[in-house]
């Protein structure tokens, strides 16, 4: 049911790989689910702490930045960048990091029993080194949608990866090889396991 609710808010799949990684919690009553939904959304927006929420299951760290690539605290906002620190060498185009940009976030109340929050990010250039090309191991067509759904007493957190194609068009040879290797060795699948650790951590009942 949560996937049906989220479907209109997730980009269509038309090329490459698609992944869906989800976890749900059922609360004792709907008022508790309303409060927990807000808690999970707040955690989802606190991308700088995703590593903490996911525990040892997430081998990637995220840092929100402004338009000049400077680290920022607080919740994610549309237009911000995420600097991603993957294990191993990063792309030259991203000065050692992969980068995505938050292109949209919305909270939609469908009715008194259903609501959805989603935040969508896409691979992008380094904030101040745009001429170097996309600084990410996936092409710019790829997207990651971070979604929280409340359906009555059930709260579900999901990461939807869509149109995931390795970025082998990078201008630097080193980046071409690096991105091809990440894509060909199943890194998208590894990311799915790491996203599982994240959505499970976001739904941890304290």
Short-list 162, 170, 166, CA closest to 192: 162
Distance separating alpha carbons of residues 68 and 80, to the nearest angstrom: 10
**Does residue 118 sit in helix, strand or coil?**
strand
Which domain CATH number covers 163? 3.30.530.20
User: Measuring CA to CA, how many Å separate 142 from each of 35, 50, 123, 152, 166?
Assistant: 32, 21, 7, 31, 9
Report the percentage of the chain scoring pLDDT > 90: 71
> What pLDDT does residue 189 have?
64
Residues with Cβ < 8 Å from 79, sequence gap 6 or more?
A: 67, 101, 102
This prediction has a pTM of 0.94
Name the residue range of residue 32's domain. Answer: 2-202
Identify the pLDDT of residue 140: 93
User: In this structure, how many other beta carbons lie within 10 angstroms of the beta carbon of residue 80?
Assistant: 20
Q: Which residue has the higher pLDDT, 153 or 178?
A: 153
Per-residue model confidence as pLDDT tens digits over 84-109: 998 888 888 999 999 999 999 999 99
How many domains in the chain? Answer: 1
């Amino acid at each position: 049911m949560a996937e049906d609710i989220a479907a209109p808010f997730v980009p269509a799949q038309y090329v490459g790989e698609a992944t869906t990684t989800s976890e749900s919690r059922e609360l004792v009553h709907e008022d508790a689910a309303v409060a927990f939904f807000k808690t999970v959304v707040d955690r989802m927006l606190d991308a700088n702490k995703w590593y903490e929420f996911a525990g040892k299951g997430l081998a990637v760290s995220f840092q929100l930045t402004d338009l000049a690539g400077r680290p920022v605290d607080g919740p994610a906002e549309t237009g911000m960048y995420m600097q991603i620190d993957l294990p191993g060498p990063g792309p030259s185009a991203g000065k050692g990091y992969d980068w995505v940009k938050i292109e949209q976030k919305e909270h939609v109340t469908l009715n008194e029993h259903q609501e959805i929050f989603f935040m969508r990010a896409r691979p992008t250039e380094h904030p101040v080194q745009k001429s170097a090309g996309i600084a990410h191991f996936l092409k710019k067509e790829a997207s990651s949608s971070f979604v929280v759904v409340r359906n009555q007493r059930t709260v579900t957190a999901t990461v939807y990866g869509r149109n995931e194609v390795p970025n082998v068009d990078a201008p630097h040879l080193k980046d071409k090889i690096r991105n091809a290797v990440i894509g060909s060795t199943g890194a998208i699948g590894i990311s799915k396991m790491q996203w599982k650790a994240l959505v499970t951590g976001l739904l941890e009942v304290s």
